[in-house]
Amino acid sequence: MKKSLLIFLSLLFLASRPPFASALTPDIMGPDMKIIDNNIIVNISVANIPELEKTIKSGIGKELVFTAELMRVWRFWPDEFVVSKEVKKVITYDGLRDQYFASSYDGINRSEKTFIDQDTMKDWVSTAGPINLANIRELDPAEYYIRIIVESKSIEQLPLIGFLMHLVPEVEMSLAKESVPFTIWIDK
């Protein structure tokens, strides 16, 4: 009895582990940053999200969270967090209608879309922006950089025994990338 329970728990643990790395690994493109009308505008995109389409078509919804953080560089101290903005994108699949349903929420605006073409859906879900991160008139003259974080989560969790729930990670994919430092000089 103990041996079969041990085998069952071992198989359950191995099944909950993420698969080995594939040839295509996810990568954050950019971040693409521009200063337009004294506002720092950021565009984020991620390429090669592993098994996104396969997971969604199996009936499990996905949530992608794009976070852009503005950081101030300090020489002998840890860098200072200034401001961040977050965009959440949720994608589900309706097998009866053969359609993808997607929504985007940035804390203020919510938009919903329906896709039939999977490539168009992938392009829309894997990009976020333009994000108005900060107004440079409100910042001190200094050196700054932008940190981008992209996380992927499944909306529905598999039903598991309560004490084994901590073995399944909530965040399936987490990527981070920093821009090159840039200097803000304000003429007053």
- pLDDT tens across 5-51, in order? 667 666 556 555 655 444 457 778 878 899 999 999 999 998 877 67
Percent of the chain with pLDDT over 90: 42
137 CB-contact burial (10 Å; exposed 0-12 / middle 13-18 / buried 19+): exposed
**Range picked from 5-9, 67-71, 157-161, 184-188 for highest mean pLDDT:** 67-71
Closest CA to 54 of 87, 84, 24: 24
Cα R_g (the chain), whole angstroms = 20
Residue 129 has pLDDT above 90, yes or no: no
Tell me the whole-structure pTM to 2 decimals. 0.76
Q: Which of 127-130's residues contact partners 24+ apart within 8 Å by CB, and which partners?
A: 127/43, 127/44, 127/45, 127/46, 128/43, 128/44, 128/45, 128/66, 128/87, 128/89, 128/104, 129/32, 129/41, 129/42, 129/43, 129/44, 129/45, 129/87, 130/41, 130/42, 130/43
Cα–Cα dist 124/152, whole Å: 15
Closest CA to 83 of 71, 65, 75: 71
**Mean pLDDT within 79-85:** 94
Inter-CA distances, 79 with 72, 75, 131, 145, Å: 6, 8, 22, 10
**Mean pLDDT within 43-71:** 84
Residue 80 has pLDDT above 50, yes or no: yes
- pLDDT tens across 147-174, in order? 999 998 887 655 554 455 556 556 777 8
49 versus 130: the higher-pLDDT residue is: 130
Give SS3 for 14.
helix
Inter-CA distances, 143 with 34, 82, 170, 171, 183, Å: 15, 12, 35, 32, 4
The rounded mean pLDDT for the chain is 82
pLDDT the model gives residue 22: 45
**Mean pLDDT within 94-107:** 90
